[in-house]
Structure formats: structure tokens, C-alpha cells
């Protein structure tokens, strides 16, 4: 089995147009997004290993925030997760697996985390 590296960016909060119900369809709602992204990696990481041997965390952050299309309404948060995963696959051919966890903050009543986790593998 080849070595891999999992990059993690958790608990990003961003506003996204998403939802099925009428009260959700006209205004963006807050989502908390966490990413675990597996990339194929070098055999070893020496102290002087350059950044391009890995992947910048800022690329992950961008895919889950500014990389989401402005003004596009996602009916389901599953569509948001798919868009993020596809963006990461397109960014870097070394990305082999993406896990996207999305929590819908607006529907929480007592601090519970209501949402989905989507896992996609490069095909």
C-alpha cells in the first residue's frame, strides 16, 4: 500500500446559499466545514523538504470558502461537499481521497452538530 499524508483543516465557518425550505432559499446560511485530504507523499520528509512536497493548507481553505461559486444555490449540502471534493481533485493530481464534513449551524437548537460527511476517492 502506498504511503499517504492526511492534511486537515477543521471548523471553517462560511456562508453558503443552500437549503430546500423556503426560509433557506433566499439567504446564505452558516456552515461549518471540516476537511481531511489524503495526498500521495514522498517517502520521507526531511527538515528542509520544500512545500511542494506536500500541499498548502490554504488550498484546502480556499476550496471550502472562496472557491465556492458566489450566487449559486446548492439545494443540498451534499452538493456543497461534492463541489469542494472536485475542486481539490482538480487542484492537485496527488489528492487521492477527500472527506468533507459539513454542519448546518442555523438548525442547531442546543449546540448539536447536524450535517453530513462525504468521502470521495479519486477515480
What is the CA angle 79-15-82, rounded to 5? 15
Q: Which of 2, 83, 67, 63 is nearest to 38 (CA)?
A: 2
| Full residue range of the structural domain in which residue 51 is found | 4-121
The CATH number given to whatever domain includes residue 66 is 3.30.1130.10
pLDDT tens-place values along the chain, 123 residues long: 777 889 999 999 999 999 887 676 778 999 999 999 999 886 778 899 888 888 899 999 999 999 999 989 999 999 999 999 999 999 999 999 999 999 999 888 888 999 999 999 998
Element (H, E) at 58: helix 57-64
Start-to-end CA distance of the chain, whole Å, equals 17
* Total tally of structural domains belonging to the chain: 1
CA-CA-CA-CA dihedral for 70, 97, 100, 80, to nearest 10: 30
- What is the pTM for the complete model shown? 0.91
Amino acid at each position: 500500500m502506498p504511503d499517504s499524508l492526511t492534511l486537515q483543516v477543521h471548523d471553517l465557518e462560511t456562508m453558503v446559499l443552500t437549503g430546500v425550505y423556503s426560509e433557506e432559499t433566499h439567504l446564505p446560511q452558516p456552515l461549518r466545514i471540516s476537511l481531511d485530504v489524503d495526498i500521495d507523499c514522498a517517502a520521507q520528509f526531511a527538515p528542509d523538504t520544500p512545500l511542494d512536497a506536500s500541499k498548502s493548507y490554504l488550498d484546502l481553505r480556499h476550496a471550502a470558502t472562496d472557491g465556492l461559486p458566489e450566487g449559486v444555490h446548492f439545494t443540498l449540502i451534499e452538493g456543497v461537499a461534492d463541489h469542494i471534493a472536485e475542486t481539490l481533485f482538480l487542484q492537485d493530481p496527488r489528492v487521492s481521497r477527500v472527506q468533507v464534513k459539513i454542519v448546518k449551524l442555523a438548525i442547531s437548537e442546543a449546540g448539536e452538530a447536524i450535517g453530513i460527511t462525504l468521502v470521495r476517492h479519486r477515480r
